[in-house]
Structure 1
Amino acid sequence: MGEPVVQTFFLIFTGAAVLASIALYTRQPLLVAYIVLGAVLGPYGMGLITNVHLITEISHIGIIFLLFLLGLDMQPRALLSVLRKATSVALISSLVFAVTGFAIGYLFGYGLLESMVIGMAMMFSSTIIGIKLLPTTVLHHKHTGELMVGLLLLQDFLAILCLMLLLSGDVGRVDMRQFLLTIVALPLLALFSVAFVRYVLLKLIQAFDRFHEYIFLLAIGWCLGLAELSEALGLSAEIGAFLAGITIATSPISQYIAISLKPLRDFFLILFFFSLGASFNLNLLSEVIVASVVLAAAMLVIKPVVFRVLLRHQSEKNSLAWDIGFRLGQISEFSLLIAFVATNAAIIGQKASHLIQATAIITFLVSSYIVIFNYPSPIAVSDRLRRD
C-alpha cells in the first residue's frame, strides 16, 4: 500500500464518520457519504489514498459476509420454492435489460462487441443495495425477502456465465470444458457442504457452543473456506458463502452467528462503497456523462416496470411487485467486475468501461434515494418507514 495502513484506515473511517454525521443530519443515505468520500480522497480527487485496488480486494470480504448472512436467514425448502418461481422472471428480465443496454450503447457510437458487454453489464441488480436497504424483519419472515434473494442468486449465476464468456478471451467463444465443470460444480458443492455441516460442523458446534469466541471463529472459517472452494471450482465466492450460510440455517445457533457477524460485514461494506467512489476516474466523466445518464435513466425506469409486469404475471400482489422492482432498479457490483474483466481482455476500451462504472454509481445513488424515501428500510429518512 502506498500509504501507511493505519493512516489509510484513519482517513477512510474518520472521514466516513464525519460525512455520515452530515448525511444523517441532512437526511441522505449513508452509502452516498461513503462514495463521495472515496471520490474526494481517492487518486482522482485529493490523492490522499492511491492504492484503491487493495482496498477493493479487502472490501470484497464484505460482500462474501453479506451472502453468508443471507444464507443464515433462509430456510432451504423455502428457497427452492422461490427459485422455481423466480427462474422465468430472472431469465426474461435479464434478456430485456441486456437488449436495452446494447441498443443504447450502439446508439451512442460504441462498437458491436462493446455494446454487447454494456448490455451484459445491465442484466444484473445489486445484491448489496437490494439487501442492505431491506429491513431485517422482511428478510427473515416475509415473502418479499425470499423472492428478492431468489432473483439475486439466479442473477449471480448468470453473471458467472457471462464472466466465463469474457475470460475465454473472445465473446462468442467459450471453453466448454470449463463451462460444463461449472455446471456440475454447483450441485456437487451443495452436497459437500450439506454433508460437512451434518457430520463435522454441527458436531463441533454442539460440543463447544459455550465458547463464543470459538463459534465466531468457526463461522468465519466455514464461510471463507467454502467461498474459496467455490471460486476454485469456477463458481463465485458469493455463491460459496451463500451455501455456507444456508446449510447451517436450520441450526439453533444460526441467529447468534448472524448477529455476531453483522458489525464485521458493515466494516467491509464501508470499504466497498469507498473504493467504488475512489476508483472512478473523474477526468473521463465529461466523455461519458450524457450516455451514462441516458443509460442509468433507462435502467431506473425499465427495471421496476419489467419486474412489476413479470411478477404480476406470477400472481404476486401489485404492491409487492412494485416494491421488488424499485429495490432491484439499479445495476450490480457484478457490472463493475464485467467492465474490469472486459477491459483487461481488450474487449472494450476505457471509455466503455467508464460508461458502465458511471452508470453503476448513478443507479446506486438514485435507486437508494427512491427506496429510502418511499419504502421501509433501515436508513429511511421518515420515522414511519424506518425498519431495522
Structure 2
Amino acid sequence: MSETSIVESFFLIFSGAAVFATFALFTRQPLIIAYIALGVLIGPYGLHYVSDAKLLSEISEIGIIFLLFLLGLDMQPKSLAHMLKKATLVALISSAAFASVGFAVAYSFGFSTQESLLIGVAMMFSSTIIGIKLLPTTVLHHRHTGELVVGLLLLQDLIAIIVLLVLSGGQDTSWGQLASTAINLPLLVIFAFFTVKIVLLRVIQHFDRFHEFIFLVAIGWCLGVAELAKYVGLSLEIGAFIAGISLATSPISLYIAEHLKPLRDFFLILFFFTLGAQFNINLLGAVAIPAIILAIAMLVMKPFIFQFLLRLIKEPKDISWEVGFRLGQISEFSLLIAFLATSISLMGEEASTLIQATAILTFLVNSYFVIFRYPSPIAISDELRRD
C-alpha cells in the first residue's frame, strides 16, 4: 500500500480513535486502550494504513512536553524541592530492585548477558505519561500524592538520561560528559527562573489584554526551554517541566494551564497510537511468555516496593500504596532504550520486542487498576473522575 500523507494519516488516526473511544466508553474501558489498539490495527505491522510511525512518534513527543509543562505550572518550587530530597533514596533503591528482577527473568529465558542487562535497565522506570495523565493534580488533597509521584518520576528521568547518554556515546562516553550533564541541570533551572522573573512576566503583564499573545508566549517558552535542555545534554521532557515550574508562582499559570489542555490531549492521542503502531506483532509469539511473566513481576513488585520504601520515610500507608500503584508500570523511556540499543546492535529484535510487549501489558493493566480504584481525569466512575 502506498504511503499516506500526513493529512490522511491524521484523518485515519483521529476518526478511528473517535470510533474506538466510543466503543471503549460504552464498554467502560480506559481510552488509552482504544488508542493503542487502533495503532496495532492500522499501523505498519497491521493493515499498514498509517506507515510513517517515526514521524508520528516525533509529533507525539510534543504531547509529553506539554504534559510536563502543565504539571510544572501546578507545582510550587519549594514543596517540590523538599519532595525530591525525600524521594532520592526511594528512587535509587527501587530502580536497583526492578533492574535485578528484569535481568533475572530475561536471563532465565535465554537472552544474552548484555541483552538481559539492558532489559533489566528498561524495567527501572515508570511511565511519566501514564503517571501524570492519571493524576488529579488540581484536587487539593491529592497535591502531596502528586508531589511524590512527580518527584520519583523526575529522579527516574534523570537516571534514564544518564543511561541513554551512555548508550548513545558507547565507549566514547566520558565522566566529563556525565559531569557536564549534572552541572547543566541547576544552571538551566537558574536561567529559567531569572528569565521568567526579569523578562517574561513583565512582557505578559504589559500585554495581558491580548489572550492569544499569552497563549503564544507560553508555547514558545515551553518549547524553547525544552530545546535548550536537549542542547545542554538533558531531555526535552525535563526542560518542559522546568519551564512550567518557573512560571508556577505567577497568577497567570492557572490561565495558561487551562488553555493548553486541549493541545496536550491532541498530542497524547498520537503518542498512544504510535505506541501500538510501532509494536511488531510478528515477533509476539517468540516473546509472549517472558513478556507476560515480566509484566506480572513488575505489576506486582512495583506497588509493594514503592509502598515499603515510602513507609520507611514516614509517608502515610494509604498514600504510599496509591503512589506505588500509580507507578506500577514501565516507561516510555524503556521503549527509547530498546529502540536505541537495537539501532546500535546492542540487543536483537526479540529483546526489543520483549520490552515493548512488557510496556504495553503494564500500561494496559496498570491503567485499568488506577482508573477503577483511584481518582483520575479519565475515570469511568463519576465519583472518581477528577481534573
TMscore range, shorter length: over 0.9
Q: CA deviation at 1:139?
A: 7.4
Map 1:180-219 onto structure 2 (within 5 A). 180-219=179-218
1:247 aligns to what SS in structure 2?
A: helix
**Rounded Cα–Cα distance in structure 1 between residues aligned with 2:256 and 2:266:** 16
Moved more, 107-116 or 134-143: 134-143
Partner of 2:302: 303
**Unaligned stretches of 5+ in structure 2?**
none
* CA RMSD of superposed structures (Å): 1.3
Match in the other structure for 2:331: 332
Matches within 5 A, 1:1-388: 2-138=3-139, 142-170=143-171, 174-388=173-387
TM-fit CA distance, 1:381: 2.4
Say if 1:55 and 1:271, in contact at 8 Å, map to a contact too. Answer: yes
Contact (CA 8 Å) 1:68, 1:243: kept in 2 or not? yes
User: Residue 303 of structure 1 contacts residue 325 of structure 1 at CA under 8 Å; is this kept in 2?
Assistant: yes
Aligned AA (1:105): A
Distance in 2 between residues matched to 1:130 and 1:251, nearest whole Å: 25
Mapped to 1, the partners of 2:334 and 2:104 lie a distance apart of: 17
Whether the 8 Å contact between 1:169 and 1:345 is mirrored in structure 2 is no
1:190-244 CA distance string (max 9 Å, x none): 1111111111111111111111101000000000001001001110011110110
Whether contact under 8 Å (1:339, 1:356) holds in the other structure is yes
Cα distance in 2 for partners of 1:309, 1:139 equals 25
C-alpha distance in structure 2 between counterparts of 1:176 and 1:38, whole Å: 40
Aligned amino acid, residue 212 of structure 2: E
CA contact (8 A) 1:326 1:371 kept: yes
**1:94 Cα offset (Å):** 0.6
CA shift, 1:387, in A, is 2.0
Residues 136 and 142, structure 2, Cα contact 8 Å, conserved in 1 = no
Give the TM-score normalised by structure 2.
0.98
Measured after TM superposition, the shift of residue 136 of structure 1 is 3.3
> Structure 2 CA distance, aligned partners of 1:36 and 1:149?
28
Counterpart contact for 2:74–2:137, Cα < 8 Å? no
Would the aligned equivalents of 1:16 and 1:33 in 2 still touch at CA under 8 Å? yes
Query: Which ranges of 4 or more aligned residues in structure 1 deviate by more than 3 Å?
Result: 138-141
**Residue deviations 1:6-32, cap 9 Å, x none?**
211110001000110110010000010
> What is the Cα deviation at residue 141 of structure 1?
5.5
Give, in whole Å, the separation in 2 of the partners of 1:141 and 1:205: 30
CA contact (8 A) 1:73 1:139 kept: no
Q: Following the alignment from structure 1 to structure 2, what is the Cα–Cα distance between the partners of residues 73 and 383?
A: 23
Pick which of 161-170 and 220-229 moved more: 161-170
Structure 1, unpaired ranges of 5+: none
In 2, the alpha carbon distance for the partners of 1:33 and 1:139 equals: 30
Q: How many residues align?
A: 386
| Cα pair distance change 1:204/1:263, threshold 3 Å | same
| Aligned partners of 1:377 and 1:386 also within 8 Å | yes
Determine if contact 1:118/1:352 at 8 Å carries over to the other structure. Answer: yes
Q: Distance in 1 between matches of 2:221 and 2:140?
A: 22
TM-score computed with the length of structure 1 as normaliser? 0.97
Q: Residue type matched to 2:126 in 1?
A: S
State the one-letter code of the partner of 1:168: G
